[in-house]
Amino acid sequence: MGMTMTQKILAAHAGLPAVEAGQLIEAELDLVLGNDITSPVAIDGFEKCGADSVFDRNRIALVMDHFVPNKDIKSAEQCQRTRNFARKYGIVNFFDAGRMGIEHALLPEQGLVGPGDCIIGADSHTCTYGALGAFSTGVGSTDMAAGMITGKAWFKVPSAIRVVLTGEPSRWIGGKDVILYLIGKIGVDGALYRSLEFTGEGLQYMGMADRLTIANMAIEAGAKNGIFPVDDITMEYENGRFQRKPVVYQADPDAVYESTVEIDLSALRPIVAFPHLPSNTKTIDEAGRVKIDQSVIGSCTNGRIEDLRIAASILKGRQIADGVRCIVIPATQQIYLQAVREGLAEIFVEAGAVFSTPTCGPCLGGHMGVLAKGERAVSTTNRNFVGRMGHVKSEVYLAGPAVAAASAVTGFLTDPDRI
């Protein structure tokens, strides 16, 4: 029986010739990730185990991104605890204010993750790195602690759903529209503990920013991971960046998939996920006149330079609508600097937007854009659960950067072709 791409990576890291869906394995890890919220809990577990060393100080990444710069005393103490741990054990890849970024944009940018890797992270959106041909998945802080100590983790091998992309997308269609369309089609549990494996001739139109967005939100369909084949787009991105030798795995021709979903990119319209689930999707044509109070452009899904360029192309020469707050958040310091050099920051500020330091802040209702009761936000973030960005009576509408920027100009959910 043939194996999927994910199964091949897991077999290799478990030292087995083959694995099959449902099998329990112990796999060697290439990287263990934590952030300022989850790392302190993992450090508690690390110390309770009596551990006095990490498996490899080069294979652990600790990224201070959720509440950085610190918003209060508690968040400052969380960062301090992680900072002290990193210093004690000589963690090489520790990223703090001034050189940090949103973890799932930062790690690919820094070349810490890549083709053939097996990665765990104490954050549910760790599945992002499947865009680079890696197996990566989110775990709890206890598993993170075990990973930091042993360099290993237990997995149940997932079965897979194949997603075939065809056609050429129109101007404003990007990775966010593709993944929201898929989640709307199969539901938030449609890929529960399965691997979403993307393929098809339409991949040539999905750049790395699109792929990272799609893989990031695989978890929003319940998937264990999302993964893309390694192709010229992957290798061009990793060239001169990835710090280890890429290992390329391909699904066998007779690999077993539970089902196949086909998406014609040429038929897609911009998608908006209405409250309070990522699966509650409508096209922008079906959205109606929904008034917004805030627009957030950023996060680990759409805070890359490609996303900022799209937003800037719409905001240039225009003004944010009265009564609307527009917050633009580059995902990393490098992206921030590039946005400044390209003149994007000037466009945002002149339009009346906030141009922020990298942070996860508003995505989880932490800081830098928390919603009050009754307020609505259109956001390029990845979740819109009840109370996700603030008050339980607030609402979040998920969309790509083009819709978020166009809506900031009009004050209503808006088709970017109609401003």
Place of tokens 């054990």: 89
Residue 197: strand pairing partners: 162, 227
Q: What are phi and psi of 72, to 5 degrees?
A: -160, 180
Kindly report the number of other CB atoms within 10 A of residue 5's CB atom.
27
3-state secondary structure 131-174: HHCCEEEECCHHHHHHHHHHCEEEEECCEEEEEEEECCCCCCCC
Alpha-carbon distances, residue 283 vs 59, 178, 270, 276 (angstroms):
42, 12, 6, 16
Radius of gyration, CA atoms only, the chain: 20
CA dist., res. 268 & res. 181, Å (int): 8
CA dist., res. 154 & res. 143, Å (int): 9
pLDDT at 243: 84
The amino acid occupying position 304 is R
Query: In terms of residues, how long is the chain?
Result: 419
CA dist., res. 185 & res. 221, Å (int): 10
pLDDT at 46: 96
Helical packing angle, 344-351 and 305-315, nearest 10°:
50
Give the DSSP letter string of 73-121.
HHHHHHHHHHHHHHHHHT-SEEE-TTT-B-HHHHHHHTT-S-TT-EEEE
Q: Please give the distance of CA 131 from its chain centroid, rounded to a whole number.
A: 10
Structure-block tokens of residue 79: 């960062």
Domains annotated on the chain, with CATH: 9-15+23-156 (3.30.499.10), 158-241+254-268 (3.40.1060.10), 271-418 (3.30.499.10)
pLDDT at 326: 98
pTM: 0.95
pLDDT at 365: 86
Residue 26: strand pairing partners: 154
Return averaged pLDDT per consecutive 10 residues of the chain, 419 residues in all: 95 97 97 96 95 96 93 93 96 93 96 97 96 97 96 97 97 97 95 96 97 97 97 96 93 95 97 96 95 97 97 97 97 97 98 95 89 97 93 97 98 94
Burial per residue of 31-56, b for 16 or more beta-carbon CB atoms within 10 angstroms, e otherwise: bbbbbbbbbbbbbebbeeeebeebbe
pLDDT at 97: 87
